[in-house]
Amino acid sequence: MPDFTASRRMMVDGQVRTSDVTDLRLIAAMLDVPRERFVPADKADLAYLDLDLPITTSPLGPARRLVKPMVLAKLIQAAAIGAGDHVLDVGCATGYSSAVLERLAASVVALDQDGALTRQAELNLEAVGARNVTVVTGPLTDGWSAGAPYDVIVVAGATEAAPRTLLHQLREGGRLVGVVGRPPATKAMLYVGCGSEVSGRPIFDAAAPLLPGFAEPPAFVF
């Protein structure tokens, strides 16, 4: 039987702390949340590896994956989540990112468009005692306007272009973080809402699984 507590500590010490993640609240959250609870039982032994872990398989498209711990941690740290913040987690999948965010914020809306995943997220979040998360189902590209505006939006995956609809759901001074671009030119980005405008800047080199609906149409080439 794997020692998941030891594996969790090794993940944080070897992947998260060594990547300049210094937020003690975030480190405590990642030490507390049992990542193995959020992956299929046959992949529990892989839960703490430095990879984007597949959690679904489908003949109709690419597998959904949990973002590797280091990338998720650096994105969340860049968002500078306060204890009173209202957060939207886009692409929550089985709920791991939402469980981490819930330990930092006042409330979290966990959004996914796959009903099977959101049902699993509800069970997982209840099992780990995450009481301030509302799980909802809908297109990822639409965000969740019923809960807007948000202090923070975390995109738990990649988008090929800036997610404009999501950016409009930020409150004044709100932050959106995610991985943006087409491989190999992808960057983790931080966007900040300012009135009707949103400014963005790259914060570190990163790759993440492309989320459904966020692929750009192929460009016409002469």
- pLDDT at residue 141, as a whole number: 97
Residue 170 β-bridge partners: 150
Q: What is the pLDDT of residues 151-178, one digit of tens each?
A: 999 999 999 999 999 999 999 999 999 9
Cβ–Cβ under 8 Å, residues 149 and 164: no
CA distance 50 to 15: 7
Distance of CA 202 to the CA centre of its chain: 17
Q: Which pLDDT tens digit goes with each residue over 24-77? A: 999 999 999 999 999 999 999 999 999 999 998 765 667 899 999 999 999 999
pTM comes to 0.95
Distance, in Å, from the CA atom of 189 to the CA atom of 154, rounded to the nearest integer, reads: 11
pLDDT digits (tens, 9 = 90+) for 11-20: 999 999 999 9
- Spatial separation of the C-alpha atoms in residues 124 and 106, rounded to whole Å: 19
- Residue whose C-alpha is closest to residue 159's, from 75, 91, 215: 215
Quick one: pLDDT at residue 121? 98
Q: Please write down the long-range contacts of 140-144, taking CB distance under 8 Å and 24 or more positions apart.
A: 140/90, 140/91, 140/111, 140/112, 140/113, 140/211, 140/212, 140/213, 140/214, 141/165, 141/166, 141/213, 141/214, 143/88, 143/90, 143/111, 143/169, 144/88, 144/109, 144/111, 144/169
Q: Where are the domains of the chain?
A: 4-205
Class of domain 4-205: alpha beta
What percent of the chain has a predicted confidence (pLDDT) above 70? 95
Q: Which residue has the higher pLDDT, 42 or 221?
A: 42
